[in-house]
A = this chain, B = another copy of it.
């Protein structure tokens, strides 16, 4: 499918929720950075799993267990291709980005980071990429440093380079900011890290549905994402890790599935990726996630990027014409995420008033309080776009916002 033949309405039809009326108005869903909506094929595949072949996986030999295991592992294969990992063993299922970061913070630190060492994050991180590091650093007397963010929402690369010392062992950085839309120069940053023997983790929560991720090309050591921000179900996420590093890490949780042999004297752990998947996983939703990836693959990330860029530019131009609006985050390289404040209307009022017109936006600190503090804000209103959004919706939004301002 080329971008010419790209028809957002054909895509919209695949999302049952987009036909809903909210407060007597057609739903305009602009809260995609919080979670995306789900196409019918995802919903149906979960339905089918529970109606036709629900069973616990891996250990069972009966037909249902076999089928469920195959479908579950099929998703792993699809993810592996999607992010271009060397092997399926490098794909670990989690509940979401947050659990992924906690897994890495907890299991990695135990082996590789010592008292007095340093970990670097940035000022624009989501709480999920701050708090796990704060917790683990406090417990282990490790020093946490933060890279400065410029007024325009871009990262201060010089400051990053200054922060690096021979004690720096780890960089955890967001690929695309959920508040500013900024796409960070992560490839460049990873390269710098490689030269300094710094392990890198990329928070890809906001990136993975919008642009092609190639973990081999990036050469990052870890990459985490959430299915629910990629048209997939809630409760599923991925940790990608380089095999040689994952091999060396101790398990995160203990339990069924992650063991080879359990003995009160000596327990041995299973091989990758199972070592990191303790207990019955979220089978139904992992299977549903496969359909979300099919949905994305069918349109093609190139087409998605292209269309979303067009949409972002259109939105950007329209918003700039509104008097009294302040856009927070004007990075040259950004995606369709717009944080803004409006003179004289509190974002909370804005959110509710727009909701009464059927428009769903997010308001608040977007789980980036340090960034809000930095910009002297308590919160913002945020519009975040996805593949099913249209220029018409942006026009409608602009019209309603102008009415509120005037």
Could you tell me the distance in whole angstroms from the C-beta of A140 to the nearest C-beta in chain B?
12
User: Chain A interface secondary structure, helix, strand, loop or mixed?
Assistant: mixed
> Is the CB of A355 closer than 8 A to any CB of chain B?
yes
Of the A-B pairs whose beta carbons lie under 8 Å apart in the complex, a sample of 5, sorted by A's number, is: A127-B254, A131-B262, A234-B281, A235-B284, A262-B370
CB of A94 to closest CB in B, whole Å = 9
User: Would you call B62 and A256 a contact (CB within 8 A)?
Assistant: no
Contact pick for A17, options B52, B251, B254, CB 8 Å = B52
Q: A97-B279, A281-B234 are in contact. Are A102 and B34 (CB under 8 A)?
A: no
Whether, in the assembled complex, A336 has its beta carbon less than 8 Å from a beta carbon of chain B, the answer is no
**In whole Å, how far is A227's beta carbon from the nearest beta carbon of chain B?**
10
Residues of B within 8 A of A254 (CB): 98, 102, 105, 127-128, 130-135
How many subunits of this chain does the assembly comprise? 2
Given A282-B95, A369-B263, A255:B61 Cβ within 8 A:
no
Closest chain B residue to A102 by CB distance? B253
CA distance A54 to B386 in the complex (A): 15
Query: What B residues does A128 contact at CB under 8 A?
Result: 254-256, 278-279
Are B102 and A280 neighbours in the complex by a CB distance under 8 Å? no
Query: With A98-B256, A99-B253, A131-B254 given, can you name 11 additional A-B contacts, CB distance below 8 Å?
Result: A34-B56, A34-B59, A56-B228, A59-B362, A98-B254, A128-B254, A130-B254, A130-B267, A132-B255, A144-B264, A233-B284
Q: Is the CB of A255 within 8 A of B64?
A: no
- Restricting to A274-331, which residues have a CB under 8 Å from any CB of B? 278-285
A149 on the interface (CB 8 Å rule)?
Answer: no
Interface residues of A in 343-375 (CB under 8 A from B): 348, 351-352, 354-355, 359-364, 367, 369-370, 373
Contact in complex: B282, A284 (CB < 8 Å): no
Is there a chain B Cβ closer than 8 Å to A55's Cβ? yes
Stretch of A42-50, A156-164, A210-218 lying at the B interface: A42-50
A20-B51 Cα distance, complex, nearest whole Å: 9
Nearest CB in chain B: distance from A347 CB, A? 10
Interface centre among A132, A233, A285, A355 (most CB of B within 10 A): A233
In the complex, what distance in Å separates the CA atom of A149 from the CA atom of B27?
A: 60
Residues of the B chain whose Cβ atoms lie less than 8 Å from the Cβ of A284: 233-235, 285
Would A23 and B63 count as touching, CB distance under 8 A? yes
Chain B nearest CB, measured from A109 CB (Å)? 13
Contact A62:B283 (CB < 8 A) given known A130-B262, A253-B102, A267-B131: no
Residues from chain B with a CB closer than 8 A to the CB of A46 are: 46-47, 50
Is the C-beta of A35 less than 8 angstroms from some C-beta in chain B?
yes
Interfacial chain B residues near A83, Cβ < 8 Å: none
- The digit string for A71-102, where 1 denotes a CB below 8 A from any CB of B, is 00000000000000000000000011111011
Cβ of A135: which chain B residues have Cβ within 8 Å of it?
250-251, 254
At the interface, yes or no: A37 with Cβ under 8 Å from chain B? yes
Verify B263–A226 contact, CB threshold 8 A.
no
Asked if A8 is an interface residue, CB under 8 A from chain B, the answer is: no
CA distance A355 to B373 in the complex (A): 61
Nearest 5 A/B pairs, CB to CB: A98-B279, A235-B282, A131-B254, A128-B255, A98-B255
Please name the residue on chain B nearest to A178 by beta carbon. B256
Q: Any chain B CB within 8 A of the CB of A22?
A: yes
Is there contact, CB below 8 Å, between B50 and A98? no
The answer to the question of A118 belonging to the interface, with a C-beta cut-off of 8 Å to chain B, is no
When distances are taken between beta carbons in the complex, the residues of chain B under 8 Å from A259 are 127, 131
Q: Smallest CB–CB gap between A375 and chain B, Å?
A: 14
Does chain B have a CB within 8 A of A258? yes
A193 → chain B, closest Cβ, in Å?
A: 21
Count chain B CB atoms within 10 A of each CB in A16, A95, A280, A360 and give the residue with the most: A280
Is residue A175 contacting chain B, with contact meaning CB distance below 8 A? no
- The answer to whether A54 and B31 touch across the interface, beta carbons within 8 angstroms, is no
